[in-house]
Amino acid sequence: MAYIGSRPADKALVTSDIADGIVTFAKTTGFGKIGQVLQTAKTDTFTSTSTSFADITGLSVAITPTATSSKVLVFAHIVGCGEVGTNHGIFRIVRDSTAIYAGDSAGSRSSGFHSGIVSDTNSVEAGTGIFLDSPSTTSATTYKIQGITEGSTFFVNRSPNDGDSKGRGRLASSITVIEVLV
């Protein structure tokens, strides 16, 4: 191998040892290049009384991976909770119709990455989930956040009371997907 600079005493290869044009960006496969980044932000509110997992309107994003070997890094941020002191709102990440980021099933417990219950009608809770998925497809794939309640109501981007004052918030949730080329 020919070197441009002088070789260090520890014989390590350093950047100045490599001639321009020897290693091109196109030849750096396997370095985790980013293929595409897509996001959906939900700024309006959502409520549901569903006792089975339901899609949250406006919290989904579709991506078409460029290779079957691509990974998809999913970032989910949800501001959501259940009724005050009685029922949780539980949230999970789904690829198409398959839950991909949720706790293990156990008995009749619901599995999710975030569970919110508030002690004050004007409070909310936020949760973040990060998951590296291997969809193994080049077809359009939809990632979304779903929610469920134990039998009351769950709320997204608002408190259960949703009082109209400066001290009460309307918040935002989002889902972001990043294709990682491998």
Residue 29 has pLDDT above 60, yes or no: no
How do residues 96-144 score in pLDDT, each as one tens digit? 999 999 999 899 889 999 998 888 888 889 999 999 999 999 999 999 9
- For 160, residues 6+ apart whose C-beta sits below 8 A from its C-beta are 81, 83, 84, 118, 121, 153
Identity at 130, one-letter amino acid code: I
In a domain, 48, yes or no: yes
Specify the CATH number for the domain of residue 168.
2.60.120
Does the pLDDT value for residue 8 go beyond 60?
A: no
pTM for the structure as a whole: 0.81
The structural domain count of the chain equals 1
Q: Is residue 145 part of a domain?
A: yes
d(CA 53, CA 12): 54
Domain of 163?
Answer: 42-181
Q: How do residues 152-167 score in pLDDT, each as one tens digit? A: 899 999 999 998 888 7
- Asked whether residue 27 is domain-assigned, the answer is no
